[in-house]
Amino acid sequence: MNRLAIYCGSATPADPRYMELAREVGRTLAERGIGVVYGGGRLGLMGAVASSALAAGGEVIGVIPDALAGSEVANTDCTELYTVSGMHERKQRFTDLSDGFITIPGGVGTMDELWEAMSWAQLGYHSKPVGLLNAFGFYDDLIAFNRRMAEVGFVRPAHQTILIADEALPSLLTKMESYQPHTPIFSMKADDL
């Protein structure tokens, strides 16, 4: 994995563990020679991932919608900064530029990015690993909900391993590196659906 898209919040939570986690993610990826593709902002967890990756000598590619770039939240320190027309183009660029995805804590926008990465993998728009860093148990309920969707039958057996979750970044990266792509819906026959 040469580059990973990092999905996370642009907010700064009161609990300092979240900002430290973001800094650890950026630093660790840079130290491993893995470039960061992210939302292009300088605030919150997003900014912490980028600044720590840059400080550790890593590559950081930001992708920010023009509406946000004009509001002084764009991180102009990025190795490269792409300004795009909107969120759809932003997520497509994340997919095009990265070899996989890691979601760390965040809010609604972060969830949108995670679920779209999973949906696109399920369909067959990409075959890249989708990682979820469940630090501090932040995503326990989401992991349980994903399991519930599978139990009820809304996630096919072939797609139940798309989401790769772990509580620690090193072991998450190891799991992602050994990810074996599944059979996408686009390649399935009607009887398999």
Question: At 14, which CATH number?
Answer: 3.40.50.450
Of 190, 141, 132, which is closest to residue 161 (Cα–Cα)?
132
Residue 157: Cβ within 10 Å count:
10
Q: What beta strand segments (E) does the chain contain?
A: 3-7, 35-38, 60-65, 80-84, 101-103, 130-133, 163-166
Average confidence score pLDDT of the chain: 95
Question: Which stretches of the chain are DSSP H helices?
Answer: 16-31, 44-55, 66-69, 87-97, 108-123, 140-152, 169-177
Distance CA 130, CA 1 (A): 12
Distance CA 25, CA 69 (A): 24
Indicate if the pLDDT at residue 116 is higher than 80.
yes
Flag the least confident range among 11-15, 56-60, 63-67, 133-137. 63-67
Q: What is the pLDDT of residue 69?
A: 85
- CB-based contact 101:4 (threshold 8 Å): yes
pLDDT above 70 covers a percentage of the chain that reads: 99
Q: How many domains does the chain have?
A: 1
- CB-based contact 179:143 (threshold 8 Å): no
Distance CA 123, CA 91 (A): 16
Per-residue pLDDT of 145-164, as tens digits, reads: 999 999 999 999 999 999 99
Per-residue pLDDT of 47-85, as tens digits, reads: 999 999 999 999 999 999 998 887 768 999 999 999 999
- CB-based contact 143:133 (threshold 8 Å): no
Q: What is the pLDDT of residue 189?
A: 78
Q: Which contiguous run of DSSP H or E holds residue 33?
A: none
Distance CA 127, CA 187 (A): 12
pTM of the model: 0.94
Where in the sequence is the domain holding 41, given as residue range(s)?
Answer: 3-192
Distance CA 72, CA 108 (A): 21
Of 123, 100, 95, which is closest to residue 174 (Cα–Cα)?
100
What token pair was written down for 60? 């950081």
What is the maximum alpha-carbon separation in the chain? 52
